[in-house]
Chains A and B, each alone.
Chain A
Amino acid sequence: MVKKASNYIGEFEELVLLAILSQGDNAYGMTILQALKSATDRSIAIGSLYTTLSRLEEKGLVESWAGDPTPERGGRAKRHYRVKGSAQMLLRQADQARQRLLNLEQLRQS
């Protein structure tokens, strides 16, 4: 399947991308889930996270690879995630758009 970067990311997708970035090389399901929980104070179900991660992978914004199985996971392998350059660019664009809108709002109020 050919994966191409989409130019639109939703709010939760953006949070997941940022959570992956915050974990560096140690970004896998559990650490992403914990990063999201501590940052948003929201309880996030594993099903929602994996649905979003699959969608991001289909959009070509993240890449994944299999890690080693560990005893505390019952011998199950981890899947590590990395944010691609295209996604980082989208995140920056989204942030700039948000900043511009906030500035406009501040100008209107002043």
Chain B
Amino acid sequence: MSKKEQYAATRLMELMDYCGVHSREQVESHKGFQRIVDSWMNHDDKFRSSFQNLRNMVVHNRTPWEANLGDCFSFAVWSLWRKYEPTMDLSLSAPRPPANAEYLLYLLLPKEDQEVAIGDLVELYGSILKRFGKRRADFWFYKQVAGSLLPLLRRALLRIGSLVWLSRAVRRLIS
């Protein structure tokens, strides 16, 4: 087993030991175990990518049995993969734009547009990355975010302004 798979395998085995998960049934029913794996899958990129390698190892018949990891552990890998496959396949193969610029956009965009607008930018970023390389793609992404600041701020201010106006009108009506 290479280092790539080792990270997820070790953490997963330690967690199974810690939670006392020693059977297939426990893998799927132990709430604490599920909750901790959930948080790793959602917030720990290193774990996610290592877990994908671990799963690939299982797929290519280099099963954890050969590495003496045990039946329960292999079942856990399969079970977790089935659970997270829809999001994992997609997010791991996507290009990664600069995180700070993406976060800034995430903060400024209204909630209903966050995922959609960032998805559009990531898609375009990917095509620019392929054609011109990371540096230029990053520059393009920063330019997009900088250009979006003013209209998004204006929209946010208008919303706040209309709320203030509404609250004043309501207060006048009440008094």
Q: Which residues of A contact B (CB under 8 A)?
A: 28-30, 33-34, 43-48, 50-51, 54, 69-79
Q: Which residue of the partner chain, among B89, B95, B121, B154, contacts A46 with CB atoms under 8 Å?
A: B121
> Nearest Cβ in chain B — how far from A106, in angstroms?
36
Q: Which residues of B contact A (CB under 8 A)?
A: 86-87, 89-91, 93-95, 105, 108-110, 113, 115-124, 126, 143-144, 146-152, 154-155
Which B residues are in CB contact (< 8 Å) with A30? Answer: 120, 123-124
Which A residues are in CB contact (< 8 Å) with B105? Answer: 46-47
Main secondary structure of the interface of B (DSSP, over half): helix
**CB-CB under 8 A for A47 and B116, given A72-B122, A74-B90, A74-B122:** no
Additional A-B contact list (9), CB under 8 Å, known A46-B105, A47-B147: A45-B146, A45-B148, A46-B121, A71-B90, A73-B119, A73-B120, A73-B122, A74-B94, A79-B116
Contact status A73-B123, CB under 8 Å: yes
Which B residues are in CB contact (< 8 Å) with A54? Answer: 110, 113, 155
